[in-house]
A and B are shown apart, each in its own frame.
Chain A
């Protein structure tokens, strides 16, 4: 089955700086890669996703890049703000997510004022 590795487990950045979280996956058939943000006491919420036929996708301060050859994808957050502090999860699926998602272990992002 699919295995998703996520690094780092904790990331502390100064407010206004950029943050990068990296994930690798094992199943070359995976074709859907979402990123979820989980705030304390809440369920995960989708922030951005990318399909395997696209190399990069942006949404305001958030971007995701995908390297299919190397089987890794990354989340980039620019101009970080205090409300970006949360746990972020990457995930992968070979069925567009229909059969469920395989998640990474999460990254606790801390934005220092």
Chain B
């Protein structure tokens, strides 16, 4: 089984809808991240969390919110989706004192 899972893998929604992307990990890591990938732009950090009580904004947090329900779960929400939030979203995890980030398979989101 994959160490970092994301659901759904693909989602099509309409402008104005609320949507939640979920991430779960079995690696026992404390740090979790959400990134957004757009063609030709690389990956950009949306939010990150060091534990369930520690949430931090990244480079492009506007229009997004997150929830760390447990050490293993980190959800990303779009309260009112807009077309320019169409992108590939990745969750990542990292262990204490470690540098490497482990990425999930991604969620492809399309906002019409």
Contact = CB atoms under 8 A, between A and B. Distances in A.
Interface of A: 1, 4, 6, 9, 32, 34, 36, 41-46, 49, 89, 96-106
Given A42-B105, A99-B56, A105 B99 contact: no
B99 A34 contact: yes
Contacts of B44: 103
B74 interface: no
Interface stretch (B12-20, B35-43, B77-85): B35-43
A104 B105 CA distance: 20
For B4, B40, B50, B101, the residue with the greatest tally of chain A CB atoms inside 10 Å of its CB is B101
Binding site of A, secondary structure by majority: helix, strand, loop or mixed?
loop
Contacts, number: 60
A107 B109 CA distance: 23
Contacts of B100: 34, 46, 49, 97
Contacts of A1: 59
A97 B99 contact: yes
Contacts of B50: 98
For B41, B99, B100, the residue with the greatest tally of chain A CB atoms inside 10 Å of its CB is B99
A2 to B, nearest CB: 9
